[in-house]
Chain A
Amino acid sequence: MAKPVVIVVGADKGGVGKTTVSRTLLDYFSANNVPTRAFDTESPRGTLRRFHPDITEIVDMTTASDQMKIFDTLSSASPSVTVIDVRAGLMSPALASLRDIGFLDAAKSGQITFAVFHILGPSIASLDEIAETANFMQGAKYFLVKNFINNTSFFEWDQATYNSYFHRIKDATELTIPKLNEMAYEQVEVASVPFLKFVANKRFNDDAANYSFVLRGYVRHWLANVWSEFDRIKLTDLVGPGSAEARGEGGI
């Protein structure tokens, strides 16, 4: 049986695009026929749940009952991938909880595949977050995501300073999410559907929609670029070799 995979998407700062990245991950796994479930820790609002209600549950990661809901079901749950969209400010506490319940040790010993997508913001605070997160990263696959979706002039750190933080974590991988046309982003928000459905011009219930061809084109182009980044880091290999065969079936 394939090992369960847990992907934590988080940052300690808000508004850096955690939920957007989580959405692209769910779309990517769906297109690659990888069964996936998601937990949205933005309780009680749940932005991720708005876009993927059928596979997303809202949880409060600070409570033991919800931690049990996520981690005690890892082996028994049929989806092989669990994506956890961690609310702003909860990244470090969440990782500390994972350490306390022995989850990080399980990942270290190879019982669970654990990956962290750390979404970086433009400020120097993000670099401090890297240093803080580094303490928990043994046994995890660590992806530093430079998210340009909201703002093109995002990363203006001194490269040497950035490298000094980046190299603190062994085997960290950098990932870039390109900018999406603002209006296209806004229209997907308004439509409240996964990016894939927007591209396919469908409503949530699969009825035909009437989204702008231009905006769908922008989203398709952007999503293809994001997924090529996921392909580059061999994301489906996290799930095991079997899933890799399914790749290519879910092109956009």
Chain B
Amino acid sequence: MSTTPVYIVCSPRPLVGRTLIARLLSEFLLLQDGAVAAFDINLKEPSLLEYLPQITETAEVDNTFGKMALMDRVIVNDGVAKVIDLGFHAFDEFFTMSNEIGFMKEAARRGVTPVILFVADNDRVSLRGYATLREQIPPNRLFIVDNEYVLRGELPAVFARGKVVQIAALPAFLKTYIDRLTFSFTGYLRNEKDQSTELYQWIRRNYFSFRELGLHLMLQRS
């Protein structure tokens, strides 16, 4: 039976590159599958909606209506991958709610594969957030994102035990370049003639990581 992945990109900390990763992943899935549905649960940070308005809708988890509108959509096995950019302020509320309503179990029953991409940082809040997730999420559904731009040096040992998705650091000027609202990663790959540029290679490496992640999930199912 085919399943529908739901990627939840999250961190209990602001400014760890979560929206960047959600953008990258959404563009990759759009390129790979031709369709993706993204949900932006951010009030206080640069948001996914501004970058990818065609495929993104806002969502909220601070009231029951918002939770229903979001979760009743993502629990459907419709073959369209979902990406949730979960703002730091909604981290606790979202996972408390998903634990209470039995999201992981119901997803397994319905052929939906939730994948948690936890963007690591080395502060206490992140460590505590990760510990909470480890209690709720099966290890094969919980991945660490090591964003080298944020987390310089070695990944703290507590995170290194899980499967890690590496995001290499970009030079500051390229970071400014990709932060423009009109910038598209896939558009850049399509239009850039010189495949040796640092940005080109960076996007390709990240797309490769996401492809590997997808294969890893597929192998787990088979």
Please measure, in the bound complex, the distance between the C-alpha atom of A183 and the C-alpha atom of B68, giving whole angstroms: 10
Q: Closest CB of chain B to A179's CB: distance in Å?
A: 12
Q: Which residue of B lies closest to A186 (CB)?
A: B64
Please measure, in the bound complex, the distance between the C-alpha atom of A183 and the C-alpha atom of B65, giving whole angstroms: 8
User: Can you list 10 A-B pairs with a CB-CB distance of less than 8 A?
Assistant: A183-B64, A212-B68, A213-B72, A214-B64, A214-B67, A214-B97, A215-B64, A217-B71, A217-B102, A221-B102
Query: Does A220 belong to the interface (CB within 8 Å)?
Result: yes
Q: Which residue of B lies closest to A184 (CB)?
A: B64
Q: Is the CB of A220 within 8 A of B64?
A: no
Q: Is the CB of A214 within 8 A of B72?
A: yes
Q: Closest CB of chain B to A200's CB: distance in Å?
A: 12
Using a CB–CB distance below 8 Å, which chain A residues touch chain B? 181-184, 212-218, 220-221
Please measure, in the bound complex, the distance between the C-alpha atom of A221 and the C-alpha atom of B67, giving whole angstroms: 16
CB neighbors of A among B15-52 (8 A): none
Contact with A along B109-153 (1 / 0, CB 8 A): 000000000000000000000000000000000000000000000
The verdict on A213 contacting B100 (CB below 8 Å), with A182-B64, A183-B65 known, is no
How many residues of B sit at the interface, in one of the four size bands?
A: 10 to 19
When distances are taken between beta carbons in the complex, the residues of chain B under 8 Å from A213 are 71-72, 75, 101, 106
When distances are taken between beta carbons in the complex, the residues of chain B under 8 Å from A212 are 68, 72
Query: Does B103 belong to the interface (CB within 8 Å)?
Result: yes
When distances are taken between beta carbons in the complex, the residues of chain B under 8 Å from A182 are 64
Please measure, in the bound complex, the distance between the C-alpha atom of A190 and the C-alpha atom of B4, giving whole angstroms: 31
Instruction: Please list the 5 inter-chain residue pairs (A to B) with the smallest Cβ-Cβ separation, ordered nearest first.
Output: A217-B101, A183-B64, A214-B68, A221-B100, A214-B71
When distances are taken between beta carbons in the complex, the residues of chain A under 8 Å from B65 are 183
Q: Closest CB of chain B to A112's CB: distance in Å?
A: 39
Q: Closest CB of chain B to A18's CB: distance in Å?
A: 25
Please measure, in the bound complex, the distance between the C-alpha atom of A75 and the C-alpha atom of B207, giving whole angstroms: 72
Q: Closest CB of chain A to B76's CB: distance in Å?
A: 9
When distances are taken between beta carbons in the complex, the residues of chain B under 8 Å from A218 are 100-101
Please measure, in the bound complex, the distance between the C-alpha atom of A183 and the C-alpha atom of B63, giving whole angstroms: 10
Q: Which residue of B lies closest to A199 (CB)?
A: B102
Q: Closest CB of chain A to B186's CB: distance in Å?
A: 32
Q: Is the CB of B102 within 8 A of A215?
A: no
Q: Which residue of A lies closest to B67 (CB)?
A: A214
Q: Is the CB of A221 within 8 A of B64?
A: no
Please measure, in the bound complex, the distance between the C-alpha atom of A182 and the C-alpha atom of B210, giving whole angstroms: 40
Please measure, in the bound complex, the distance between the C-alpha atom of A214 and the C-alpha atom of B59, giving whole angstroms: 14
When distances are taken between beta carbons in the complex, the residues of chain B under 8 Å from A221 are 100-102
Q: Closest CB of chain A to B10's CB: distance in Å?
A: 18
Q: Closest CB of chain B to A185's CB: distance in Å?
A: 11
- Known contacts A181-B64, A220-B102; 9 additional CB pairs below 8 A are A182-B64, A184-B64, A213-B75, A213-B106, A217-B71, A217-B101, A218-B100, A218-B101, A220-B101
